[in-house]
Structure 1
Amino acid sequence: MRTWNIAGSLRVVPATENLALLADPVGKALADLATAGEVGVAEIDPELADTAEFCAAYSSPLTASANCVVVAGKRGGELRYAACLVLATTRADVNGVVRKRLDVRKASFAPMDTAVELTGMAYGGITPIGLPDGWPILLDSAVAEAPELVIGSGIRGSKLLVTGAQLAELPGAEVLDGLAIPIPE
């Protein structure tokens, strides 16, 4: 198992050997990932799963955390979904880049209950690994280029440690420049 510089006080173990720390769809998808043995997982307090609280509690840098959001849009009566992954210091350009990529008139965050039902993952733990077949996984270029990232594991009780390159190789992954925009201060 590699050493993760961003781990802070986390105890990182191989994800493939600790499937109980992953949502079922994440564990199943991990088996198909060529570099699955290099993915780390760390158990955390589920009450500290939200990014800012997690980073503060476990001394993991906010700049190395990425958030995954499920976005929906409608075109001709057809609902189209995508997952967007951006660094935690930014937000996804939902009504610009994402709307255009989905080819819909308006895009918005999917309702929490819909996102949970469709992904089989817990809200606040949704991750790009294990999403439904056919969903585009839109990665900001800064995410794809990151040497180390902390992302959700599908549950609120753990986090995955991955590289941007691993995420860029997921089925359906697309790297988009300008997907992330700064969070207004």
Structure 2
Amino acid sequence: MDTTLGTRPALTRPDLLAAPVAAALAGWPADRAAEVAAAAIDPELADTAAFCERYGVALADSANCVVVAARRGAVTTYAACLVAATTRADVNGLVRRHLDARKASFAPVEAVLAATGMEYGGITPIGLPADWPVLVDAAVAAHPRVVVGAGVRGAKLWLPGRLLAELPTATVLEGLGIPVG
């Protein structure tokens, strides 16, 4: 837990969580919810690289949640992909195949914000719509304490990666995150 940011148990700071995130965490077993910490950050520094640089958090300890729109015919499926900040989601390869889609691309921001009740730059897999698959890179699932969004730009969450892998619609995929560059 990062004490320089003043992390506290997330459920004691609902003001730092988007409403769907707070509701989801409140529904978790108490022992699991107690493992999630939240901290306020400068909302102008919500983007991963800026956040990590300013607050001294390694990129390897942060995960990005990107939402994908996967299409097959007239059917569009939204899915969240959670990958280490040192990688990018393999949207056109592994994600597309896993979701059995003909085409996959990043979902329109407006549609994601409307469907999730979260803010751009703070999207997190916790509290997403119940029918959205959550694809978690194996490296994120194995991380002892990863930083993710809190649903709002002004906060971050710290939690064991295994809790992300235990989300009701989560699937852990080896190779979901591919190296950048």
CA contact (8 A) 2:80 2:132 kept: yes
Question: 1:75 deviation in Å?
Answer: 1.3
Q: Residue 153 of structure 2 aligns to which amino acid in structure 1?
A: R
Residue number in structure 2 paired with 1:29 = 24
Residue number in structure 2 paired with 1:145 = 142
Question: 1:8 deviation in Å?
Answer: 6.5
Matches within 5 A, 1:101-140: 101-140=98-137
CA contact (8 A) 2:141 2:164 kept: yes
Structure 1 unpaired stretches of 5+: none
Residue number in structure 2 paired with 1:173 = 170
1:38 matches 2:35 = yes
1:48 matches 2:45 = yes
Secondary structure in 2 aligned to 1:9? helix
Question: 1:55 deviation in Å?
Answer: 0.7
- State the identity %: 59
1:63-116 deviation line (CA, Å, top 9, x unaligned) = 100000000011120111100000000000000010011111110000111111
Residue number in structure 2 paired with 1:19 = 14
**Separation in 1, partners of 2:121, 2:101:** 26
Residue number in structure 2 paired with 1:59 = 56
1:22-47 deviation line (CA, Å, top 9, x unaligned) = 00000000012220111000000000
Question: 1:142 deviation in Å?
Answer: 0.1
**Separation in 2, partners of 1:142, 1:73:** 23
**Separation in 2, partners of 1:57, 1:11:** 15
Aligned CA distance change for structure 1 residues 97 and 8 (closer, same or farther; 3 Å): farther
**Separation in 1, partners of 2:27, 2:171:** 18
**Separation in 2, partners of 1:27, 1:68:** 17
Question: 1:9 deviation in Å?
Answer: 2.5
Secondary structure in 2 aligned to 1:116? helix
